[in-house]
Amino acid sequence: MTADRTDPVVTTPCGAVRGRREHGVAVFRGIPYAAPPFGPRRFRPPVPPAPWDGVRDAGSFGPTAPKPPYSEIFARYLSDPVVPGDDCLNLNVWTPEPDPGARLPVLVWLHGGALTRGSSAVPVYDGRGFARDGVVLVSVNYRLGVEGYGLFPDAPANLGLRDQLAALHWVHESIEAFGGDPGRITLAGQSAGAISVGALIASPRARGLFRRAVLQSGPPEALDRDKVRRMVRRMAARLKVPATAEAFAAVDRELLLRTQAEAGRFGGPVLGGPAFGIVVDGDLVPRDPLQALVEGDAARDAGLLMGWTRDEYRLWLVPGGLMEHVDRLGPVALAGAMARCRCGHEVVRGYRALHPGAGTAEIVGQMVTDHLLRRPLHRLADARPGSSYVYEFAWPSRLPGLGACHGLELGFVFDTGDAPESRRLAGEGAPQELADVLHAAWVRFVTDGDPGWQPWDGTHPVRVFGDGPPHTVHGPRDAELALWTAGAAPGQSPPAPDGSRAAELRATVRRLRRLSGVRGR
């Protein structure tokens, strides 16, 4: 859209930007919050962008971070636009009106994509619905994959997370000029974005930069450093270079992306394997984020909205026919799930008893979902009763087999169900009335900290959004989650398998990865 003299202009610390008026709100896209992370700044912490003279056009999305494309299987369901260019540390702002006196609540959005894909340019994340309803929406690009989360002896860890922290500082310093209130910032994300939110809640360096947080289908966590190092070493072996940031910085960007995709080919939420992720670094992430939030006093005053979809695992297992493959593998798949979840046969027997009609793939999927998402989010809510609100998204996609899968709630939260990219997951005919109530709940939480249902307490209230009116169910997952702590101290995981058993289960997982042949998300 071409700019004209009636379009809004806002002055930021580095210079003025000209946005656009669209759908009754003001939109500013591609505003740099840090300098391009390439050349001498590659694999280095973010630094402020260079100031500019005149008025910078902010009518189009800025460059996206380097990333490999989704496999053909997942690209049918997930949109991931690519905008070329080096200036990828940028953000977008949707606001009802850029009036410094408005003091409106602010929602800062961190996209998902396993920390290897995704961007703020995904149409599902269009912020006009939030701006229409009185919330300033900011969406952020950050470094991905080996550029953002590689672990090297000669570079800082968690560069993508450091980018997000730099963006939060920018928002805190600049958002008033766009009509936002720097004292009413909510940090939100889904999947890898929610994992990032959890790390920032727990980080002492992010204190005071936001007031509330939303974690959608992603818990606070830190990956084992050796798991990330294995990814880097795999890439280094394929590239025939040392596993150092200096060596990787000299590699052609496209070759680096192809190598990254190949090295992570058989990883994924269900199968595990080497991956990129947030690690404890003694600085930005001084300790495991979940432990810090459960046991310490990290961000005790932050209100939390968090939850999951009923059938998270179906996005990981249905594309490519892996669901049927897992069902055929039967005991092999169950052994792999035990290895992935570090649990014993008693957990599998318990799930079988609670879900007598379920197939192997459903049992495996629910076990992995509970292990990765519901257990840690329950622990977090238990540690913060009275200020935590928990939901479950249970509306099933119109597309065969997907159910209420991972990521399906996004088009409803943003009220962007009319976008073709939302229909990739939801299918045709998604109910607008569900979008109305879910989006309104998020707006209420961002505005005053109460999404409209009972906060977490000993009865474990969970707000269920599915077919029909939203309703509260108490302890809907308690029976399954109790299986994991049987015989363990309160709040602790069950004991890990002994050495020989663990080795056997790891071998089973490796076999399952080879048999599946499906690229992970």
Among 67, 59, 69, which residue's Cα sits nearest to residue 27? 59
Of 61, 67, 8, the residue nearest 31 (C-alpha): 61
Which residue is listed with tokens 């606001």?
A: 95
- Residues 257 and 64: their CA atoms lie apart, in Å, by 14
Contact between 199 and 280 under an 8 Å Cβ cutoff? The reply is no
Q: How far is it, in rounded angstroms, from Cα 115 to Cα 278? A: 9
Q: How far is the C-alpha of 368 from the C-alpha of 371, rounded, in Å?
A: 5
Compute CA 347 distance to the chain's CA centroid, rounded to the nearest angstrom. Answer: 27
| pLDDT value of residue 488 | 40
Return the structure tokens found at 243.
Answer: 């596993």
Pairing mode of beta strands 461-465, 388-393:
parallel
pLDDT, position 6: 83
> Which DSSP letter does residue 81 get?
-
Looking at the chain, how many residues does it have?
521
Residue indicated by tokens 């602790």: 492
**Cα 3 vs. chain centroid, distance in angstroms?**
33
**Distance, first Cα to last Cα, the chain:** 33
Separation between Cα atoms, residue 211 and residue 184, nearest integer Å: 6
Cα–Cα distance for residue pair 404/360, rounded to 1 Å? 18
Quote the CA–CA distance of 105 and 448 in Å, as a whole number.
Answer: 9
3-state secondary structure of 216: strand
DSSP per-residue codes, 323-364: HHHHHHHTHHHHHHHHHHHT--HHHHHHHHHH-TT--HHHHH
- Alpha carbons within 13 angstroms on the beta-carbon side of residue 445 total 30
Residue where the block lists tokens 């000993």: 458
Amino acid at 488: A
279 residue type, one letter:
V
Rounded to 5 degrees, what are φ and ψ at 474? -100, 120
CATH superfamily of 9-516: Alpha/Beta hydrolase fold, catalytic domain (3.40.50.1820)
Place of tokens 């913060």: 384
Cα distance between residue 274 and residue 257, in whole Å: 16
Which of 267, 277, 166, 273 lies closest to 221, judged by CA? 277
Q: Which residue has the tokens 């810090």?
A: 292
Token couple for 355: 């879900």
Per-residue pLDDT in tens (0 to 9) along the chain, 521 residues: 565 668 999 999 999 999 999 999 999 999 999 999 999 999 999 999 999 999 999 999 999 999 999 999 999 999 999 999 999 999 999 999 999 999 999 999 999 999 999 999 999 999 999 999 999 999 999 999 999 999 999 999 999 999 999 999 999 999 999 999 999 999 999 999 999 999 999 999 999 999 999 999 999 999 999 999 999 999 999 999 999 999 999 999 999 999 999 998 866 676 666 789 999 999 999 999 999 999 986 666 789 999 999 999 999 999 989 899 999 999 999 998 999 899 999 999 999 999 999 999 999 999 999 999 999 999 999 999 999 999 999 999 999 999 999 999 999 999 999 999 999 999 999 999 999 999 999 999 999 999 999 999 999 999 999 999 999 999 999 999 999 987 443 334 444 444 444 454 455 455 544 544 433 33
The runs of H, that is alpha helices, within 13-141 are 72-75, 128-132
Query: What pairs with residue 348 in β-bridges?
Result: none
Which residues does 417 contact at the CB level (< 8 Å), separation at least 6?
A: 411, 423, 426, 430, 432, 435
Report, as residue numbers or ranges, the catalytic residues: 191, 312, 406
Tokens standing for residue 183 = 């004292």
95 near 104, Cβ under 8 Å?
A: yes
Nearest CA to 70 among 391, 302, 367, 407?
A: 407
